[in-house]
Structure 1
């Protein structure tokens, strides 16, 4: 739900025009009259609240100073704040309207830092139910802020009356306060649903918006109720454009969750494109273009509306339209092409932000022949725009080079010039990431890109960016014809830079030496000079690399080119357990027993692929799931005893529909020899209480058998809880299986309003769930390797398993690579998953770790048969354990 802020506009009655002129003059000169306030002095002034008669103007100014101090984060002691609060309570005697509203604000501001604020409850309740409308709304907001769940029932009757009050300000205040009260006492607020429903049909536009927001909050735990809410108001039509915008956002969220592109919700959003309010029309168009898997025919009406807004006389509409088209052009450049004529007119717009967005949109959608002209136009005013829009320009250039790789000769000098200009860290980082992506993905631009980056780090003020470039040089310089030319740039950083950069330079030198044997003697000489560095981090790295570079190639590859693949937190935990366990000291510490990192060790720079440039919401990842699961499982007594460290956790997979009576989703927690299935169950029926909830599993093959289960003793309405089932991996070595699942429980009827059981009688019931599938990829942790070739050659050819397949239901090489990586659970290496346009054959290199710490490498040669357009796959898998390679080969079916 949206967060609605209602600022109180305070109008201080000035005694003379001279004061107003003086304050206006201070404002124009940039001076802040409250800049030099002292906390102690202001608290001393608060004693004026006790004077009789009350000086309303003086007290108003003191309160304003106090608010400023709190807003700036000045520390006010609880004792002093309490004393000031009690002084504020005496201001209720004043009849001054402005001072009274400041008193309400003071109650809200001081409630979190003072004691005994509850004493003003009766005064606020009196103002809330009084006849003075100017006091009622702020009194409601202040009262609800200091009210807890126990006290809320005493004012429940007044809140219900306020929600349906004829005064829009009072009604909105009650509704917004109820939204915040949902966090404290959701059960109490849910009882006001009838009054909120009545307020949703009120005449006030803001009242309708706030009522809809509260209704959504009340029903957010019930997916079916939310569907009915949207359907009801979509058919009935809401007069408030604000409420319609909010309703569009709810409908869009429902479509995204269920992927119902052809549902009535989409038809409702589409109908809003013809609304008389420009706000609603834009909200509908923005929602449609941001929906996933939208067809061109569904996009066309929204694009037409945005195109119409591009010629609007209102700058806000033009800006909104061109910004949205800029985002759409990333995924659907062809759909935006029809707007190019209107975008051309905006290039000369007086608003530089609009002009920038128009040009960058044309760069993504225009023809290759227009690139030079557009770049020349944007160069004329790029120095005048803010860093935020400069970043938009850089993103457009990244997308453009992805479409037209040959244009790097035009773009690289432009990016280098932008890099030399003044700018903030985010702006410089965006340019560096783009240059790194160009170097990694475009071999023709490698030399020019590396030259620009080498020049940049000569005078780079950001250590993080210099470190990133040095890491790139260590990886990419050996691939050039003259890698020795880059050694000077790297070694200069050892001499001139900070500790962080010097350490990164030492590592870069070692990586160049590991891949270029002819340069190794010279690099070893440079590393010996680093042994005298003033910082131990630099000395230790130089000492380590000097000793490793003379070892066998396999050791050099694992210790220099591929960094530690273990999770640092898990490594620390495993080492601590090893030290504490005296019985384990007879054996050496085994690094394979430590859980590996669930993400590639070397973080990729942003790709040039256009579809990945668009901003996306931060989603839950397998890395976060594993870290969170390890912490949660360790807190359950006896569940993971003797299982060893957690190897991997998967993201939850739904086993029921969201609108069912009971929703269940399953997560798989993989250990070395066991798997724990976690079934998260949620009861969506408010008239039932479930007890003794468990899951029964059935395996047709008879190989998977549960050792133990931790059921749910009690499952009330709306409170999710988890069932844990422990399964050992079969002795046959199988890792795949399909298990039938049934939810079993006892039902007890309860009162929907209170949640209390109506009787002690229960009856048995069951609920059939979707099947739980255990896959090969569950036992594999994807880990990308920075240098795949040396690692592949280090494994024996005898340990290679080769299979050939014909892939069905796959239409392109890119789709085939994505599917193969998903089935095997391996991560692509060296950006080999990026397929150049027009390529009919491609080789992708993959790597990962099988449970138990066994490294797995694979090469997949994917080709399209020109005769029948079928896609063939030749798969090579290498592992030190040949049985593991054979297991992975069975994943492709």
Structure 2
């Protein structure tokens, strides 16, 4: 072999197309017009064209059309490879080219010809380029192709029909009888595609779907692919139906199938079901346990991964597999070993923790950071499960923190130690010590800032808070500007919460006022001034309990305030705060993937609300509530309402969906039976509501001056003009429409809609005492619940407080506070006691406005 050939082989086949030029390639395509053509040369040119298209290269309409028609000249060739590339090129170019319908006759001829190799590819290409008006012309050919004995032709017709069902569902439904005839085909793929087509055509008919799944579960499907699909349909029905025994019995019988694919699909469905019995679950676990000792790496991975997922709901069911999982720790496949280790950590007993941690020590050096993060997350859960083991677990995490690794890996370890500090009071001292030691050599700015923030929150609560001052002040001397600025915040919090350290903190802040960076110097001056004032309320609001608005919504609110040219002062309290980051339920040993950044509900609807003219005049958006369904989920018209709360205005957004393919709704609006005290400001109807496309209707109302009168419900009716339309095209048939109405559930405005509340924090009692001079409203109520836990939960839901606001045992206390829609602060405190089969609640609300405190009590009453 020559040196050049060796080099090409090393670079790989893609290197031949690395420097392709679209313009020169279009010129090469003109070769297709020659007579005769060289098939081998044409194959190379078509391969280059398809490669460019799949790399995202954009052809202009003219370029695509010229190339498309040049390609159609190759229909004259009898070369099999070339013809199949022609069909593929037609599929790729048809969305960009014009007049592609001209090749319909050639494709139809190939579709009905004798050459089976051409027929399947011709069907796929024809169904790609043919529009809905011409499909009826080939309907007979499609039905014949579906029942064709040649499996490639039949499968191509079924898959093409499945794609067409998204655009012309009514036409494809007429092919279901033919598809049913081949469900029991001996060919695996034909049976699989036929079942998918039949089930897809019936997806909006629940009764037909139930009949199909019941019938197929009793039939003897030979295709493992079709059986896997049938198991998924059966599992979905089992979750939705009240009587699910027949579906679960079918899934359980599949555990004894000869195909490993079907066995795993059945086990996976059972483990994810919420209605499975303990006996059936044990059968599925036994199957996965056998997978774990298989000589096939794919089966071992499937078994270990599914058992890891099961530890979330049924850790005891996985405990019996401990021996087999321990054998997988040394598996050459590191993914399997990681899953086995984290599963053992999740299911192990407290006595086995030390032994497992020793095994992890030698295991971590062989795996990449991605897998190490999974192990760290498992140890983090272990810290919560066995709090008495914090010494060994904290020491192990600290050892991992000193090893080499990327910022994500180090952040995961730091977050695990932080969680240990926040959740376990006994581990606070040792956890903070490890974090202080780490920031001495931390090279990641974001991580150093995060740890300083934790020191600010947890350090003052320690027995000897002064021991952490040295570590914090070292950051002011040695680190970058961002870290120095956060260190100033931390020092100020120590001074604000620990009076015995205040004098020393003032001296340090005085030194920092000579810092070279403006941000650091200004913060030092700002905090020193506040601490010198001695004003407890001022120190609490600006150092201890600082309220941080959502930056995205704050920016929008400021822009709207400037554009509205309002003379009123901007109220930053009316901007929603950053919501507490709720940890997603992590799969017990799932390897983390890159997740899209989460946005608040207010940010999500920000662009939608721009449809309302003059929305900027209403001020910043205070809150967007959860959507509420106003219709049943399976009705022909589905409507749900989203309430957007502003300081003085209420925007009701009605999200509407038309599920009738034969109907087009026009001039759609909602007729509200308003509460008398509300004033209708604006209403924006939906011009058209076609099939399966969501439309929005907006009603803008002004809140009453009396806050108590803002509670109540609106009657609502959907009104529209109904037009009959062609289900294939969605266009009206030209007949006159008729007016119609559709009743909706009432829209309720409750207390929780108008408040942003959160549970009490550690400084809440001091805040409650400082608000003693504020307006207070209190009363005692008898609640309808007989159980004090249920009553406390109901009160929290009614007021909009999180469940974390409830504390206590026999006597429940609810403590929390937040902001009313007008930017007015409010504090709530309640005590609930159960006696003689009834629950009594004493509740008090304090606010700077008496009407807001009264509103809380009126909502409860």
What TM-score does the superposition give when structure 1 sets the normalisation length?
Answer: 0.80
Q: Hey, what does 1:596 align to over in structure 2?
A: 576
Q: 2:740 & 2:57 partners in 1: Cα distance?
A: 60
Of 449, 452, 456, which residue of structure 2 is paired with 1:470? 452
Of 306, 312, 318, which residue of structure 1 is paired with 2:288? 306
Give the conservation status (yes or no) of the 8 Å contact 2:8–2:15.
no
**Corresponding residue SS for 2:607:** helix
Q: 2:384 & 2:208 partners in 1: Cα distance?
A: 45
Counterparts in 2 of 1:833 and 1:277: CA distance versus 1, 3 Å = farther
Counterparts in 2 of 1:658 and 1:209: CA distance versus 1, 3 Å = farther
Give the conservation status (yes or no) of the 8 Å contact 1:802–1:875.
yes
Counterparts in 2 of 1:674 and 1:578: CA distance versus 1, 3 Å = closer
- Give per-residue Cα distances to partners, 1:377-406, cap 9 Å, x unaligned: 232322223444333322322222222101
Q: Hey, what does 1:576 align to over in structure 2?
A: 559
What TM-score does the superposition give when structure 2 sets the normalisation length?
Answer: 0.83
What are the within-5 Å matches in structure 2 for residues 42-191 of structure 1?
Answer: 44=24, 50=31, 54=37, 56-57=39-40, 60=43, 94-107=77-90, 124-145=107-128, 158-181=141-164
1:849 aligns with 2:819: yes
Q: Hey, what does 1:428 align to over in structure 2?
A: 410
Counterparts in 2 of 1:98 and 1:561: CA distance versus 1, 3 Å = farther
Aligned length: 854
Give the conservation status (yes or no) of the 8 Å contact 1:318–1:354.
yes
Counterparts in 2 of 1:368 and 1:690: CA distance versus 1, 3 Å = same
Give 1:757 deviation, angstroms: 5.5
**Corresponding residue SS for 2:828:** strand
Of 642, 666, 676, which residue of structure 2 is paired with 1:667? 642
Give the conservation status (yes or no) of the 8 Å contact 1:777–1:824.
yes
Counterparts in 2 of 1:99 and 1:464: CA distance versus 1, 3 Å = farther
Counterparts in 2 of 1:58 and 1:400: CA distance versus 1, 3 Å = same
Give 1:804 deviation, angstroms: 6.3
Give 1:513 deviation, angstroms: 3.6
Give the conservation status (yes or no) of the 8 Å contact 2:658–2:690.
yes
**Corresponding residue SS for 2:634:** coil
Q: 1:891 & 1:259 partners in 2: Cα distance?
A: 37
Give 1:776 deviation, angstroms: 1.6
Of 440, 463, 471, which residue of structure 2 is paired with 1:481? 463
Give 1:442 deviation, angstroms: 0.7
Q: 2:843 & 2:479 partners in 1: Cα distance?
A: 46
1:883 aligns with 2:844: no
Q: Hey, what does 2:771 align to over in structure 1?
A: 795
Q: Hey, what does 2:355 align to over in structure 1?
A: 373
Q: 2:728 & 2:50 partners in 1: Cα distance?
A: 41
Counterparts in 2 of 1:474 and 1:215: CA distance versus 1, 3 Å = farther
Of 555, 567, 570, which residue of structure 1 is paired with 2:538? 555
1:656 aligns with 2:631: yes
Give the conservation status (yes or no) of the 8 Å contact 2:167–2:728.
no
- Give per-residue Cα distances to partners, 1:205-237, cap 9 Å, x unaligned: 223333444455555566666555545544556
Q: 1:872 & 1:377 partners in 2: Cα distance?
A: 54
- Give per-residue Cα distances to partners, 1:361-386, cap 9 Å, x unaligned: 23222321111122222323222234
Unmatched 5+ stretches in structure 1: 1-17
* Segment drifting more, 614-623 vs 442-451: 614-623
Give 1:53 deviation, angstroms: 6.4
Give 1:511 deviation, angstroms: 3.4
Q: 1:673 & 1:125 partners in 2: Cα distance?
A: 65
* Segment drifting more, 393-402 vs 435-444: 393-402
Q: 2:753 & 2:593 partners in 1: Cα distance?
A: 25
Give the conservation status (yes or no) of the 8 Å contact 2:132–2:729.
no
Q: 1:345 & 1:625 partners in 2: Cα distance?
A: 46
Give the conservation status (yes or no) of the 8 Å contact 2:783–2:840.
yes
Q: 1:712 & 1:74 partners in 2: Cα distance?
A: 38
- Give per-residue Cα distances to partners, 1:628-687, cap 9 Å, x unaligned: 44432331458x697554432222222333233443333333333444444444444455
1:447 aligns with 2:426: no
1:825 aligns with 2:825: no
Give the conservation status (yes or no) of the 8 Å contact 2:248–2:276.
no
What are the within-5 Å matches in structure 2 for residues 590-739 of structure 1?
Answer: 590-592=571-573, 594-597=574-577, 599-600=578-579, 603=581, 606=583, 624-637=600-613, 644-686=619-661, 717-725=691-699, 729=703, 731=706, 733-738=708-713
Give 1:519 deviation, angstroms: 3.9
Unmatched 5+ stretches in structure 2: none
Q: 2:20 & 2:588 partners in 1: Cα distance?
A: 54
Give 1:748 deviation, angstroms: 6.4
Counterparts in 2 of 1:692 and 1:99: CA distance versus 1, 3 Å = closer
Counterparts in 2 of 1:358 and 1:621: CA distance versus 1, 3 Å = closer
Q: 1:807 & 1:306 partners in 2: Cα distance?
A: 49
* Segment drifting more, 176-185 vs 398-407: 176-185
Give 1:451 deviation, angstroms: 2.2
What are the within-5 Å matches in structure 2 for residues 734-753 of structure 1?
Answer: 734-738=709-713
Give the conservation status (yes or no) of the 8 Å contact 2:644–2:653.
yes
What are the within-5 Å matches in structure 2 for residues 758-773 of structure 1?
Answer: 760=736, 762=738, 767=743, 769-773=744-748
What are the within-5 Å matches in structure 2 for residues 226-375 of structure 1?
Answer: 230-231=213-214, 233-234=216-217, 236=219, 238-253=221-236, 258=240, 260=242, 262=244, 265-292=247-274, 296=278, 299-347=281-329, 349=331, 351-375=333-357
Q: 2:262 & 2:562 partners in 1: Cα distance?
A: 64
Counterparts in 2 of 1:542 and 1:486: CA distance versus 1, 3 Å = same
Q: 1:617 & 1:230 partners in 2: Cα distance?
A: 35
1:32 aligns with 2:15: no
* Segment drifting more, 664-673 vs 441-450: 664-673
Q: Hey, what does 1:774 align to over in structure 2?
A: 749
Give the conservation status (yes or no) of the 8 Å contact 1:222–1:684.
no
Give the conservation status (yes or no) of the 8 Å contact 1:46–1:62.
no
Counterparts in 2 of 1:527 and 1:269: CA distance versus 1, 3 Å = farther
Give the conservation status (yes or no) of the 8 Å contact 2:807–2:813.
no
Q: 1:368 & 1:128 partners in 2: Cα distance?
A: 68
Give 1:303 deviation, angstroms: 3.1
* Segment drifting more, 569-578 vs 412-421: 569-578
Q: 1:615 & 1:881 partners in 2: Cα distance?
A: 51
Give the conservation status (yes or no) of the 8 Å contact 1:562–1:785.
no
Give 1:166 deviation, angstroms: 3.3
Q: 1:384 & 1:34 partners in 2: Cα distance?
A: 32
Q: 1:810 & 1:414 partners in 2: Cα distance?
A: 48
Give 1:472 deviation, angstroms: 1.5
